Chains A and B, each alone.
Chain A
Amino acid sequence: IAGITQAPTSQILAAGRRMTLRCTQDMRHNAMYWYRQDLGLGLRLIHYSNTAGTTGKGEVPDGYSVSRANTDDFPLTLASAVPSQTSVYFCASSPHALGQTTDTQYFGPGTRLTVL
């Protein structure tokens, strides 16, 4: 079982370019999440999805969009990257929506993104 995979592992991107970070899980979890990790700030939630076909905004959604066409995939898109989006991005999943249960989250290995 792979769990959660993320691609690419790392990326250097010019400002203004469009970029999609990929996330796939094989655990048939209903809920998925995108976080960014920045030094001194911990993890901040960007967007989440409680089930396929639905998405919601987290703490820092501006400049990012997501889609959830099926259970397994939850891509994160930066429409026009800016240097402040330089960060490490983690995708996570949980069996059910956090508001309904006490489920823990399972994290992918992360994508290190640098926007120049």
Chain B
Amino acid sequence: AQSVAQPEDQVNVAEGNPLTVKCTYSVSGNPYLFWYVQYPNRGLQFLLKYITGDNLVKGSYGFEAEFNKSQTSFHLKKPSALVSDSALYFCAVRDMKTGYQKVTFGTGTKLQVIP
């Protein structure tokens, strides 16, 4: 079975400071990993994904994520937070070994950027 954990319900960061939103996963095969963002009263929007290759993945709005196989993590990062980054962030995983046609989402982390 595949699973994903986002250990923090909320992350607070001051504007201009670096931010990290944590994600760990569990799969039996190789993972495909995704980050989505949800702004208030909106649907989820794709940010970035890791499939293979370079462990550092760059995505939309200046976000990036680092795949760490030994720690089974895929933390989302941004060097300098903006107030407009305040939103709900979801990590998601799909296990390529099982072939199950399903993406498992984490429970979400609310990011609050303080002016």
Contact = CB atoms under 8 A, between A and B. Distances in A.
Interface of A: 4, 35, 40-45, 48, 50, 56, 58-59, 90, 92, 97-99, 102, 104-110
A108 B50 CA distance: 23
13 contacts: A4-B43, A35-B105, A42-B105, A42-B107, A43-B105, A90-B43, A92-B44, A97-B101, A98-B101, A99-B101, A102-B49, A105-B46, A107-B43
Contacts, number: 55
Contacts of A106: 46
Interface of B: 32, 34, 36, 41-46, 49, 51, 90, 94, 99-103, 105-108
Given A43-B44, A92-B44, A107-B43, 13 more contacts: A42-B90, A42-B106, A42-B107, A43-B105, A44-B105, A48-B101, A48-B102, A97-B101, A98-B101, A102-B32, A104-B46, A105-B46, A106-B46
